[in-house]
Amino acid sequence: AAGRAVAAVDLGATSGRVIVGRIEHGPDGAELRTQHVARFANDPVRTSDGLHWNFLELYHQALQGLAAAERSAPGKIASIGIDSWAVDYGLLRHGRLLGIPYHYRDARCEAGVAAVHARVPAERLYARNGLQHLTFNTIFQLAAEDGLLDVADRALLVPDLLNYWLTGVEAAERSNASTTGLLDPRSREWDLELAEEAGIPARILPQLIEAGTRLGPVTGDAAKVIGRAIDVVAVASHDTASAVAAVPATRADFAYISCGTWGLVGLELDAPVLTDAARLANFTNEGGIEGTTRFLHNVMGTWLFSESLRHWEPGATNAQRSSLLGELLADAASVTGPIPVFDANDPQFMPPGDLPDRIVRWFEARGERAPEGRAEIVRSITESLAVAFADAVETASRLADREVSTIHVVGGGSQNTLLCQRLADRSGLEVLAGPVEATAMGNLLIQAQTLGLIGPGLAELRAVVARSTAPIRYTPASR
Ligand code: LRH
């Protein structure tokens, strides 16, 4: 295994990165060392028919990043794994893409919700698929395809589509398939009966595979661009699944928040919770590795910051915006007096556009004092996220009847010290923050397990992360 490395392509809703990982042997066992070899923006594009991902650009950047990975360790990269945000897909016919994949924030989903609910009531849908109602769940998006399903012979989720372009293998990796609304959370098989009821042709659903399946080498032109025909491994291709796998928990009674564009707040369970109470609390049951369930709630997440900054600084780069956010958070920390708190779960914050204005109007509509100026708005977002996160942890613990002693925050949002401290204060629980790159680490370590570079099992994967990074501890302020 000497010198062997693995490469992760991790696509988030605002940026993507390619990271190379190596296993080293530390005093207590295997550790993971990571190196960023590429970072790129993910800027969606609006055309006359709606909001799309700049999909070819993402593929191009992934290939360039993988070429950089190969150059960084010539001949050493043993495999490649791809993960991304969930739910979005491309439709194909005879292997050809039938349109530019839509962004889940596109407004067309509403029509799909009405179409599906007319055939399958919400209660029945939850009993079958266990998913929190989000207008963009794949089942609703597919129902909004307006005739395209008559000609399509395949739907591939984003990482599966990229894997297909790289290797020619069509498959649906299960963790991400669990976000479509067409997978049975108990059997982990496609629910073909539900698909038929919802008017979705079964033929478009590809064969399901487990994370850790070897798909085969990169072929054709892609291999030339990368520089070598490296093997592709299907990882836990839902970014949240990879992030939760890489939570450095050392005990069982933890909650997690995978905090990026979205804040995914919940518990890891052995089985789905499909009760009416879980449905009404809008909790989801997604599938993780080793048959685990991600029982969680989607909270708006760092989108509230990033979309505000996009409005304030339209011409800035991602890097400029994140350094400005750092300054605003420092100012926000010293804002005194009562901080206005809004409902960070309110769907009106979902579409792109002037977010600070929507926040101000949220308060005005209720006759409450709205935050004024950038620093107070940033503080109000932070406080509102902390409240929503703490609520979701408490609700998860109640619905699943499980004690929680620690909240692990991973992902980009774990760098937000004000948010982590306020979460500890609001929840009364210890918060352990980091790693920032949990998703990429989960991606890399599932490959490392597939190749036998580390031992098998989720517990070992977590132990590697825990040995490789030291989370930052936040304790609740005494009240
Ligand atoms: C986070 C995420 C989340 C989904 C959303 C669409 O990136 O995958 O788990 O709900 O994107």
Query: Is 70 exceeded by the pLDDT of residue 463?
Result: yes
- CA dist 26 and 60 (Å) reads 36
Tokens representing 399? 């619905």
Distance CA 59, CA 204 (A): 22
Global model pTM greater than 0.90 = yes
Q: Give the distance (Å) from ligand 1 centre to CA of residue 87.
A: 7
Reduce the DSSP state of residue 424 to 3 states and report it.
helix
Q: Whose CA is nearest to atom 7 of ligand 1?
A: 85
> Ligand 1 centre and the CA of 379: distance in Å?
24
- In this structure, which amino acid lies at residue 167? T
- Integer angstrom CA distances of residue 398 from 185, 200, 266, 340: 21, 35, 11, 27
Contact 296, 269 (CB under 8 A): no
The predicted-structure confidence for 335-352, as pLDDT tens digits, reads as follows: 999 999 999 999 999 999
Quick one: how many helices (H) and strands (E) in the chain?
Answer: 18, 20
Residue with the smallest CA separation from ligand 1 atom 2 is: 85
Contact 456, 11 (CB under 8 A): no
Omega prior to 435 cis, within 30 of 0: yes
Torsion sign (Cα): 348, 260, 50, 354? positive
Contacts of 298 (CB under 8 A, 6+ apart): 132, 134, 262, 263, 264, 284
Which of the listed residues 173, 239, 242 should we mutate to test ligand 1's pocket, taking the one with most ligand atoms within 8 A of CB? Answer: 239
Residue of 237, 80, 79 whose CA lies nearest to 173: 237
* Structure confidence at residue 2 (pLDDT): 60
Point out the catalytic residue in the list 239, 253, 276, 331: 239
Centre of ligand 1 from the C-alpha of residue 88, in Å: 10
Burial environment of residue 398 by CB neighbours within 10 A (0 to 12, 13 to 18, 19 or more): exposed
* Pocket flag, ligand 1, residue 466 (CB < 6 Å): no
Q: How large is the ipTM?
A: 0.98
Residue 414 is classified by DSSP as G
Nearest Cα residue to 231 out of 209, 213, 211? 213
Residues with Cβ within 8 Å of residue 146, at least 6 apart in sequence: none
357 is an active site residue: no
**Closest CA to ligand 1's atom 6:** 86
Q: What is the pLDDT of residues 106-120, one digit of tens each?
A: 999 999 999 999 999
Rounded distance between C-alpha atoms, residue 102 and residue 438, angstroms: 26
One-letter amino acid at 169 equals V
Residue 479 reports pLDDT greater than 70: no
CB-based burial label for 282 (10 Å; 0-12, 13-18, 19+): middle
pLDDT tens per residue, range 53-88:
999 999 999 999 999 999 999 999 999 999 999 999
* Exposure of 97 in the CB half-sphere (CA atoms within 13 A): 16
Q: What is the predicted pLDDT for the residue at 263?
A: 98
- Mean pLDDT rounded to a whole number for the chain: 97
Whether ligand 1 lies within 6 angstroms of the CB of 239 is answered as yes
